[in-house]
């Protein structure tokens, strides 16, 4: 009896966790779902079709993906040398370096964005993709560094020495030994840097200033007064990448989950 109750409770918990997705699907793919009807009766693809045919939706998604790709690549390039030193070396000031690199996780995006807004206006980066990319790096970089430095902490440098002794060039060692050994963490770090950028609303708003429109910007304005079907469709498009990433990294999430969630 106790086991059945526990099982039922578990199912209820899982259901609550999935419920938002089901809700979006119900609103996105139904038609003529009038007020007191408890569930949709007629199903349709037309609103979804209209949402993805809309050039504003498409361009916002393309822009968001482009920004997120640039952001994750740049964070990776900036993070790799830093993470290596933090993961493998003990040196004076290491604690201080950690503290400084993690400042962006403490300072609210609101404050960062408002200050940068003025700076970027002056140097001509406001309203440009380059400006938005630079701003997005602030929240993604600490996370990328953290993931990669814990990977480096488990990394055995002797493999690199081995390759060196066997006559490999530094370039070859980096690509064929180092990167390959770090590959799983590299993938996780890149994917989540992508997601943090993809779902960034406030920094995009403050730096993009209405010129750079990504999906969260579109979704926010739709949610402030659009019709439920449109909102649900945009929401589904917005959460598709996170869902794919979670499915792809389910295993690693158990290790790295806490740091990621903080950003979300």
Partner 1 sequence: MRDKSIFTPWISLAPALTVILVMLGASLFYAIAESLGFISVIGQGDISFSAYRATLAADSEFWVSLGFSLWISITSTFISSVIALALAVWLSSRNKESDTLALNWNLAFPHLVFAIALLLFLSQSGLFARWAASLGLIAAPDQFPILVRDRFGIGIILSYIGKEVPFLTLILLSVLRSQSIRYDVVAENLGASHWQRLRYVTIPQVLPALLAGDLLVFGFIFSSYEVPALLGVGYPRALPVLALRFFLDPDLRARSEGMVISLIITLIVILVAVISLRIGERQE
Piece of 48-56, 65-73, 101-109, 157-165 that binds partner 1 (CB under 8 A):
101-109
Alpha-carbon span 261 to 243, nearest angstrom: 14
Residue 223 touches partner 1, criterion: CB under 8 A: yes
Of 18, 41, 179, 248, which one interacts with partner 1 (CB under 8 A)?
A: 18
Helix ranges (H only) for the chain are 2-28, 46-53, 55-88, 94-101, 103-106, 109-123, 129-153, 158-165, 170-172, 179-198, 202-208, 215-223, 228-263
User: Residue 102 corresponds to which tokens in the numbers above?
Assistant: 């993690």
Of 1, 32, 55, 89, which one interacts with partner 1 (CB under 8 A)?
A: 89
Residue 243 touches partner 1, criterion: CB under 8 A: yes
Residues contacting partner 1: total by CB under 8 A: 84
The helix or strand, by DSSP H or E, that contains position 43, with its residue range, turns out to be: strand 42-43
Instruction: Draw the binding track, 150-189, toward partner 1 (x: CB under 8 A; -: no contact).
Output: ----------------------------------------
- Helices 179-198, 228-263: crossing angle, 10 deg rounding: 140
Residue 114 touches partner 1, criterion: CB under 8 A: yes
- In the complex, minimum distance from the CB of residue 166 to partner 1, in angstroms, rounded to a whole number: 25
Residue 38 touches partner 1, criterion: CB under 8 A: yes
């Amino acid at each position: 009896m106790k086991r059945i109750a526990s099982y039922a409770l578990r199912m209820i918990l899982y259901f609550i966790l999935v419920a938002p997705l089901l809700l979006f699907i119900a609103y996105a793919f139904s038609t003529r779902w009038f007020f007191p009807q408890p569930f949709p009766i007629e199903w349709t693809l037309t609103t979804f079709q209209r949402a993805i045919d809309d050039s504003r939706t498409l361009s916002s998604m393309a822009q968001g993906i482009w920004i997120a790709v640039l952001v994750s690549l740049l964070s990776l390039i900036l993070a790799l040398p830093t993470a290596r030193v933090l993961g493998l070396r003990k040196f004076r000031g290491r604690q201080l370096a950690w503290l400084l690199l993690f400042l962006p996780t403490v300072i609210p995006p609101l404050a960062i964005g408002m200050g940068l807004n003025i700076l970027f206006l002056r140097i001509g980066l406001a309203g440009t993709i380059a400006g938005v990319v630079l701003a997005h790096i602030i929240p993604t970089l600490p996370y990328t560094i953290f993931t990669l430095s814990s990977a480096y902490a488990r990394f055995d440098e002797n493999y690199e020495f081995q390759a060196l002794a066997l006559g490999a060039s530094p370039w070859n060692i980096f690509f064929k030994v180092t990167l390959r050994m770090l590959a799983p963490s590299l993938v996780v770090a890149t994917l989540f840097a992508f997601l943090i950028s993809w779902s960034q609303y406030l920094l995009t708003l403050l730096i993009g200033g209405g010129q750079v429109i990504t999906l969260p910007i579109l979704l926010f304005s739709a949610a402030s007064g659009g019709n439920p079907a449109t909102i649900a469709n945009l929401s589904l498009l917005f959460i598709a990448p996170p869902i794919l990433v979670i499915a792809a990294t389910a295993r690693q999430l158990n290790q790295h989950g806490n740091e990621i969630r903080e950003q979300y």
